Amino acid sequence: MDGNIIEVNDLTVRFGDRIVLDKVSISVKKSDIYAIIGKSGSGKTTLMRAILMLEHSEGKINVFGVDINKADEKKRNQIKRSYGVMFQAASLFTSLTIGENVAVPLKENSNLPDNLIEDIVRFKLSLVGLDDFVYDLYPYELSGGMRKKAALARALALDPKVIFLDEPTSGLDPASADDFDQTIKRLNELLGITVIMITHDLDSFFGITTRACVIKDKRILAEGEPVNIKSIDDEWIKKIFFGQRGRKFELWNQK
Ligand SMILES: Nc1ncnc2c1ncn2[C@@H]1O[C@H](COP(=O)(O)OP(=O)(O)OP(=O)(O)O)[C@@H](O)[C@H]1O
């Protein structure tokens, strides 16, 4: 695997007769904060869902040396246990407290006693930078940024090796987004958790991403470090990085 913990080779996903991803190949290293970028509808979520085994796919998806499309159910479940996922809406259970929300995966997947689960939950909340009092609050009592962090704590409940984040900073104000980025970076650096995220956020892209891929026309247009991706001669890339939005970003960064 050559230092890669995930290798996707010639992955094809179709919905009915429609091919959405066509022989896509990417590789993710253990140390990566890996971004998947591409315009809306290009297949970013589909790629992530295929790696998460939520979408039927053809081709090879090697995770920790296991070809998950050929593996038996036991192996696939083992791999699933090494994943943590945070979907875009943060989707916390509204009728449960934050503590109860983070405890859900632990209750579903372990026989640990309640007092130990509580200790683990409080530790996960502190890992993502949430104060201890948040444990007893309900999701509606939290800001958007805090809700995202709570969802991240829940994704960390089972000590995943890889976390998948779908547009983690969308809807956050710049300070909260930056705070969230730093939390992701800390988890990656301190705990060695590999991060795979879909993002449209240029700050996250240049601030914390180590490697990325661009999906275009059902294929991988490019894969590499953000700075190399930025210089690719492609209409969409130029629009993103050198169009209105990109220019605002450059100006802001020069301040
Ligand atoms: N379950 C499904 N059935 C049929 N078509 C689907 C299904 N899921 C996704 N698609 C189609 O596959 C294409 C890629 O969708 P996907 O959600 O992966 O794109 P995306 O890049 O994540 O988009 P966005 O940035 O808008 O979230 C779209 O045309 C979408 O309509």
Domains in the chain, ordered, with CATH? 4-253 (3.40.50.300)
Pairing of strands 194-198, 18-29: unpaired
Q: Whose CA is nearest to atom 30 of ligand 1?
A: 41
Residue whose CA is at the smallest distance from ligand 1 atom 29: 41
Low-confidence ranges of the chain (pLDDT < 50): none
* Burial of 232 per CB tally in 10 Å (0-12, 13-18, 19+): middle
Amino acid at 198: I
pLDDT of residue 238: 86
Give me the sheet containing 4-15, strands edge to edge: 18-29, 4-15, 58-63, 66-67
Element (H, E) at 9: strand 4-15
| Cα 202 to Cα 1, 29, 40, 77, 177, distances in angstroms | 30, 22, 15, 34, 11
Q: Which of 11, 17, 46 for mutating ligand 1's site (highest number of atoms within 8 Å of CB)? A: 46
The SS3 assignment for 87 reads: coil
For 235, residues 6+ apart whose C-beta sits below 8 A from its C-beta are: none
Beta bridge partners of 62: 7, 67
Q: For residue range 25-74, what is the model confidence (pLDDT) as tens digits?
A: 999 999 999 999 999 999 999 999 999 999 999 999 999 999 999 999 99
What is d(CA 74, CA 56) in angstroms, rounded to the nearest whole number? Answer: 17
How high is the pLDDT of residue 2?
A: 61
Backbone angles phi, psi at 191, to 5 degrees: -105, -5
Query: Tokens for 113?
Result: 């006693």
Q: Which residues contact 152 (CB under 8 A, 6 or more apart)?
A: 86, 128, 163, 165, 168, 180, 183, 184
Show the tokens assigned to 36. Answer: 């998947």
Q: Hey, what's the torsion of the CAs at 10, 194, 234, 245, to 10 degrees?
A: 150
CA of 1 to the centre of ligand 1 (A): 29
pLDDT at 189: 93
For residue 249, the model assigns a pLDDT of: 60
Task: Tell me which of 20, 49, 198 to substitute to probe ligand 1's pocket, judged by most ligand atoms within 8 Å of the beta carbon.
Answer: 20
Question: What pLDDT score does 38 carry?
Answer: 92
- For the segment 234-245, what is each residue's pLDDT rounded down to a tens digit? 888 888 888 766
Token pair of 179 as six digits: 């705070």
Model ipTM value: 0.97
DSSP three-state, residue 244 = helix
